[in-house]
Amino acid sequence: MNQKPNGTQYVPGVLLAALTAGLSMVLGKAVPILGSSLFAILCGILLNASQLLPQNSRPGLAYSGKKLLQYSIILMGFTMSFQKVTQLGLSSLVISLPTISIAFFSAFAMGYLLKAPKILTALVGMGTAICGGSAIAAASPVLEADENDIALSMSTIFFFNILAVFLFPFFGHLLAMTDRQFGFWAGIAINDTSSVVAAAFSYSKAAGEVATVVKLTRALMIIPICFGMLGLKLLGRS
């Protein structure tokens, strides 16, 4: 009989993640143009590629990369004023709604040119326009997507997320963007929330706060778009 997990299996991985985070913070202060978030990603990539990670650390690392990351974003919300969140969220909709429309149109245009399956095209468009993996996960049951389409769309979004985390801060500094400008740009243009947080906070704390609000406002579009997809699907069957 399998024993139920009691949480101790997460300890090695969580401790390793904490040590890596501490090292990344030190390196980020030493090289502020890169920031601690980029160093954390680099350390993770190097550790995983070196195959030196002990097997018993995997559950804790997975828990840290999902649950603890989500909890940290929630806790970060307690540091923001309601007035600031409301102001940024409403002003970002003016930019977010047109860019979401353009992203969907571009995805379907490219899917048509490449003769990609319609469901795969819709999933990539959803992940690009809204919220990366979360949007794909939400749309998959509505579209009745198979595992191959989900895996391919997730991999595509993840690849560009990694590129964005490294390239956005570089171009932000190159273009001498203000914290607010970079925050809006990262929050609107980068897909997953975790990647937005990593890229924006590596730029500055102020940019990170702006980008997080903009990104979460954009993520709210998951609900109406999924309902829209479901409605179109039902109409097509009638």
Instruction: Kindly report, residue by residue over 143-172, the tens digit of the pLDDT.
Output: 888 888 888 888 888 888 888 888 999 899
- At position 32, the amino acid (one-letter code) is P
d(CA 79, CA 209): 9
Beta strands in the chain (DSSP E): none
Q: Are 128 and 192 in contact (CB under 8 A)?
A: no
Share of the chain above pLDDT 90, in %: 12
How confident is the model over 187-227, as pLDDT tens digits? 999 988 878 888 898 888 899 988 988 888 888 788 788 88
Domain residue extents for the chain:
8-77, 82-237
d(CA 5, CA 24): 30
| Integer angstrom CA distances of residue 33 from 5, 37, 40, 111, 123 | 41, 11, 14, 37, 34
Give the length of the chain. 238
- Residue written as token pair 């009638």: 238
d(CA 10, CA 15): 9
d(CA 191, CA 132): 5
Single pTM value for the model: 0.67
